[in-house]
Structure 1
Amino acid sequence: MASINGIKVKSQSQREETNLESSDIYEMFLTLVNTVHEFNRIFGWQILFLCGTFVLCILHVINLMIVVLNFHTWDEIYIDFWVMFISYLLTTLMLCIPFASSYNGAADEAKLTSLLAYSLLTRKHQQNKHFAESCKYLELLANIPWPGFSAAGFFDVDHTMLFTLFGSVTSYLIVLIQLKDMSM
């Protein structure tokens, strides 16, 4: 059994046997929200720069491909270039995807608190003990928005960040291709 700020947290097998009170859930969720806010305050700029590095790495590889294609035809490009191109691109993606997925998974797990609160509310309703007090804490819990992990407040770090990143890279690629066509 672990303890977070004096609140005892049990393992998955022990959680099923536990009778958590709504005030305990409320306190744990507030602790989690405060921890995420503190994490964003401390690491927000580093996350932003890391995401920028991902974008620049992908754009660098694509730009390299376009420059090479400007000077050579498809037949003149050796297999070594394609192996290097694909490996560099895959390396960047292998860093980027787990990065966003880990933050997304943590946020999804934290959002399950509302399901736990609902489950507790229905159980308390059936027992009809301290129902008003439970409702007070659970209503407060339902009104607290999940802050999410962010990159210095500019955007949330989750799966949508990946789609935004790929959309930006695709837009840049289209502009580069159009400029390449204009120069010919």
Structure 2
Amino acid sequence: MDLEIIETIFTFGKFAALTPSSMNNHNPHCLQKLYELCVFVVYVVSFILSAFVYRTQYAILTPIQLVLAILFQLNYIFYVFYVVVLVMRLRRSNFFRLIEGLDVTKARRQLHPKKMEKILKKIKFSIVALKKSVNIFNDTFGWTILFNIFSSASKTLVYIDVMIKQLDMLVTKSISLFYYDVCYILTTWIGTLSTILLCDYILKKYDEILAEAYRLETMLSSYEKKEIQVFIDVVTYNRPKFKAARFFSVDRSTLFSVLNSLTTFLLVMIQFKEI
């Protein structure tokens, strides 16, 4: 990812207190800290108001739907607390460590030495930098990935079940809220899918590097083979792994695991009410 894109993300993210104000904002001043506190209070108030507005909707839910709805709301407030308080205050340095790692990787890609040994040395440096950056990413955003997946799954379960059993009642009571929730579910799924596919894309490119190294091994001299074998070992043992709060790995298979769990749990919910 280009650092200009990260700077743009910071430019907009600072208004929601989700990112530092810039890539150089290591130590925020008092006004920035006060602003972040105010934003957190706004998030909490919106959570309370949301629970109040949805009180009539909760009344028509089955017990298992109500549990999922409550967990969804709790997931929201934990998500906000994690990002605004833990990440922005206690793990703020991770943003800049991640940027530093990305900057080093980008700089190394721009070098084109002719000798195989130098080329491999610089690529190995980039591989190690990538692994370090992914570890920092996991420490900083692993919980947010988990929160997003849980938010998408829980909201989807409730609304699919409601649409199957109580669609007429739900639409009649509040059609605007119904369509708002549908749009919200689509938005969260787009974000979740984008994160999963981007992580998988990085892993796919990493596998292509390893495959290319094996291909080169068959075409080089004995001395060069030793160099490429060392390179293969470095690539193999430094394979990055995206983790959702260390509970599970994030790659393309995650999508099917989530869909499988959704289907299983939805069947249980349907049968639960029929019994």
Instruction: Tell me the TM-score normalized by structure 2.
Output: 0.51
Alignment of 1:81-120 (within 5 A): 84=179, 87=183, 89-120=185-216
Partner of 2:264: 171
**1:18 to 1:109, Cα distance in 2 relative to 1, 3 A:** farther
CA distance in 2, matches of 1:91, 1:39: 23
Match for 1:141: what amino acid? V
1:33 aligns with 2:112: no
1:43 aligns with 2:141: yes
SS of the equivalent of 1:162 reads: helix
Partner of 2:159: 61
Q: Percent identity?
A: 25
CA distance in 2, matches of 1:152, 1:29: 23
Would you say how many aligned residue pairs link Structure 1 and Structure 2?
168
Alignment of 1:134-173 (within 5 A): 134-144=227-237, 146-173=239-266
RMSD: 3.4
Question: How much has 1:86 moved relative to structure 2?
Answer: 6.0
CA distance in 1, matches of 2:107, 2:187: 41
Match for 1:112: what amino acid? E
Bigger helix share: 2
CA deviations over 1:145-165 (Å, ceiling 9, x no partner): 523211011111122111111
CA distance in 1, matches of 2:204, 2:272: 42
Runs of 4+ in 1 over 4 A off after TM superposition: 17-20, 85-89
CA distance in 2, matches of 1:152, 1:135: 34
Q: Which of the residues 177, 180, 184 maps onto 2:273?
A: 180
**1:51 to 1:29, Cα distance in 2 relative to 1, 3 A:** same
Q: Which runs of 5+ in 1 are unaligned?
A: none
**1:114 to 1:51, Cα distance in 2 relative to 1, 3 A:** same
Instruction: Tell me the TM-score normalized by structure 1.
Output: 0.72
Partners of 1:150 and 1:157 within 8 A in 2: yes
Higher RCO (Cα < 8 Å, 6 or more apart):
1
Q: Which runs of 5+ in 2 are unaligned?
A: 1-101
Question: How much has 1:93 moved relative to structure 2?
Answer: 3.1
Partners of 2:108 and 2:126 within 8 A in 1: no
